[in-house]
């Protein structure tokens, strides 16, 4: 059984999240996307857990289901902000649990250290090792893994975390860490450059704050299991058996791939940022150091290195992004939705469109230009203007526009550099 899983999402009770993030809408768009296992997100929030109990039924498999049999797995993200070694630390971790009783126990333990009712992703001043120990004391079946490990502000290995290894972050509790989440701005190939990550399962999830198909399931982990159970999912994370690979966006699409300053409209690859001593040429303040640069700092292997038994991955730009770029319209416009649903109605779901539909069949539904771009996307042959400092990367389909954009940036950057020096 092939499982397309997105286990890291948020509910409508998290900050900056769509109020449509409810079970009905999540189930609808997950089905359209091609997801067949979804994390609940935010299970510590009192209002959300009540909605989960009202809408999902549990059994001894550890997988909860709607009345229409769509499967969910209990998950949540916790923000830990604390001091260690004289440095402030900010790390996000994802928790997985197998039933409502365990979730209740986790919530009660956390409530002794702070509030859980103000945000779906609550903040606690608990060090990572202590947090993992707390979770394992609740129940040994609870699984914890660090979220989006390279994100500058809240990733364990991010440029602002102060940690250079997974062991530094989790210390004696590293024995309970079996997976790390790569995040939007990195892919497995980048993570393969660090030998310290070889023993961990590399997982990818969307961290979605909305149910729209260009957010939900934009990254997923693919499992191949005999039966869909909580224990089988966790065993796959621990052993890599049954973990087939991941669906990723191009890391340049992520919001923190390059170094830069959003307010200054400055985006720099690592080599240029290093030449400037990581200082913005416009405002003369420190740049936000992105994932590409941070991986280069910690890597102990060359570009292109691939470990033995590395799991495969596929890079895909969401279908809605491709349609809106080709049509030169907004991503949520009527024109985009019409084309999107024409394709879904023909092929069944977005994953089938992106991974399986052939050109001849695509041409019966959409024009040849869009068909070609869908195939180019499948072949990972679409150029991306890299994201930086909270700005998403942009797929650019016109090579002339790519050239013009690069030349404009070079001209502006050279002007900024002249001013800087």
Q: Could you tell me if 40 and 159 lie in one domain? A: yes
pLDDT for res 396: 87
412 within domain boundaries:
no
SS (H, E, C) 117-176: CCCCCCEECCCHHHHHHHHHHHCCCCEEEECCCCCCCCCCCCCCCCCCCHHHHHHHHHHH
Report residue 398's pLDDT band, with 50, 70 and 90 as the boundaries. low
Q: Reduce the DSSP state of residue 386 to 3 states and report it.
A: coil
**317-352 confidence digits (pLDDT tens):** 999 999 999 999 999 999 999 999 999 999 999 999
The CA distance from 213 to 190, in Å, is 25
CA dihedral 338, 390, 245, 44 (to 10 degrees): -90
In a domain, 97, yes or no: yes
Domain ends where: 216, 235, 253? 253
Is 224 in the same domain as 344? no
Classify residue 193: in a domain, yes or no: yes
Q: Is the pLDDT of residue 416 over 70?
A: no
How many structural domains does the chain have? 2
Q: Are residues 369 and 242 in the same domain?
A: no
**Structural domain contains residue 288:** no
Whether pLDDT at 412 is above 70: no
* Domain enclosing residue 334, as ranges: 318-378
Is 86 in the same domain as 224? yes
CA pair distance 302, 137, nearest whole angstrom? 40
- Give the pLDDT confidence of 350-370 residue by residue, as tens digits: 999 999 999 999 999 999 999
Based on the domain organization, do 186 and 44 belong to the same domain? yes
Do 74 and 169 fall into the same domain?
yes
Q: Residues with Cβ < 8 Å from 311, sequence gap 6 or more?
A: 188, 201, 202, 240, 243, 244, 245, 246
| Average confidence (pLDDT) over 198-211 | 98
Domain end, chosen from 363, 378, 393, is at 378
Domain annotation covers residue 304:
no
pTM: predicted TM-score of the whole model, two decimal places: 0.93
Task: State the CATH number of the domain containing residue 215.
Answer: 3.20.20.140
Same domain, 10 and 146: yes
Conformation bin of residue 71: beta by default, left when phi > 0, alpha when psi is -120 to 50: beta
Q: Domain boundary at 214, 237, 253, which? A: 253
Integer Cα distance of 294 and 291 in angstroms: 5
- Alpha-carbon distance 279 to 276, whole Å? 6
**Three-state SS at 10:** coil
| Long-range contacts formed by 85-90: CB under 8 A, 24+ apart | 85/162, 87/162, 88/162, 89/127, 89/128, 89/161, 89/162, 89/163, 89/169, 90/153, 90/154, 90/160, 90/161
Return the pLDDT at 118: 96
**Once rounded to an integer, what is the mean pLDDT over residues 228-257?**
98
Helical residues (DSSP H) of 8-149, grouped into ranges: 23-33, 46-55, 100-111, 128-138
Q: Are residues 222 and 142 in the same domain?
A: yes
The tokens for 65 are: 């289901």
Instruction: Inform me whether the pLDDT recorded for 81 exceeds 80.
Output: yes
Q: Tokens at residue 294, please? A: 């941070």
Residue 402 has pLDDT above 90, yes or no: no
Give the model's confidence band at 411: pLDDT under 50 very low, under 70 low, under 90 confident, else very high: very low
Asked if residue 390 belongs to a domain, the reply is no
How many CA atoms lie less than 13 Å away from 101 in the CB half-sphere?
A: 6
Q: Are residues 344 and 245 in the same domain?
A: no
Q: Is residue 19 part of a domain?
A: yes
Question: Does residue 197 sit in the same domain as residue 324?
Answer: no
Instruction: Determine if residue 266 is left, alpha or beta; phi over 0 gives left, psi from -120 to 50 gives alpha, anything else beta.
Output: beta
215 and 352 both lie in a single domain = no
Task: Answer yes or no: is 139 within a domain.
Answer: yes
Same domain, 338 and 206: no
Q: Is residue 284 helix, strand or coil? A: coil
């Amino acid at each position: 059984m092939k499982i397309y899983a997105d286990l890291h999402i948020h509910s409508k009770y998290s900050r900056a999240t769509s109020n449509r993030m409810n079970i009905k809408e999540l189930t609808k768009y997950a089905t359209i996307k091609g997801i067949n296992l979804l994390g609940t997100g935010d299970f510590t929030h009192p209002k959300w857990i009540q909605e989960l109990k009202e809408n999902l039924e549990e059994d001894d498999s550890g997988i909860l289901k709607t009345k229409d049999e769509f499967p969910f797995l209990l998950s949540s993200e916790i923000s830990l902000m604390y001091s260690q070694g004289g440095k402030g630390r900010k790390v996000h971790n994802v928790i997985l649990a197998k039933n409502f009783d365990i979730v209740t126990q986790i919530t009660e333990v956390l409530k002794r250290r702070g509030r859980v009712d103000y945000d779906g992703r609550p903040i606690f001043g608990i060090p990572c090792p202590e947090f993992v120990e707390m979770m394992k004391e609740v129940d040994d079946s609870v699984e914890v893994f660090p979220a989006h490990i390279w994100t500058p502000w809240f990733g364990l290995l991010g440029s602002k975390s102060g940690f250079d290894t997974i062991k530094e972050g989790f210390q004696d509790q590293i024995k309970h860490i079996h997976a790390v989440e790569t995040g939007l701005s990195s892919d497995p190939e980048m993570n393969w450059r660090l030998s310290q990550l070889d023993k961990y399962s590399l997982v990818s999830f969307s961290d979605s704050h909305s149910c729209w198909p260009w957010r939900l399931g934009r990254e997923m982990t693919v499992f191949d299991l005999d039966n869909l159970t909580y224990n089988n999912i966790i065993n796959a994370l621990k052993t890599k058996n049954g973990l087939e690979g991941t669906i990723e966006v191009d890391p340049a699409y992520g919001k923190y791939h390059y170094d830069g300053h959003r307010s200054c409209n400055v985006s720099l690859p690592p080599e240029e940022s290093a030449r400037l001593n990581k200082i913005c040429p416009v405002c003369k303040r420190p740049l936000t150091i992105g994932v590409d640069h941070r991986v280069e700092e910690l890597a102990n292997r060359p570009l292109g290195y691939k470990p033995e038994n590395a799991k495969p991955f596929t890079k895909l730009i969401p279908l809605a992004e491709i349609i809106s770029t080709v049509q030169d319209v907004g991503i949520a416009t009527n024109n985009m939705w019409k084309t999107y649903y024409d394709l879904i109605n023909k092929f069944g779901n977005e994953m089938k469109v992106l991974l399986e539909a052939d050109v001849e069949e695509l041409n019966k539904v959409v024009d040849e230009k869009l068909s070609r771009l869908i195939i180019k996307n499948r072949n990972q042959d679409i150029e991306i203007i890299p994201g930086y400092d909270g700005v998403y990367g942009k797929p650019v389909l016109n090579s002339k526009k790519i050239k013009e954009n690069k030349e404009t940036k070079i001209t502006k950057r050279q002007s900024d550099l002249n001013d800087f020096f």
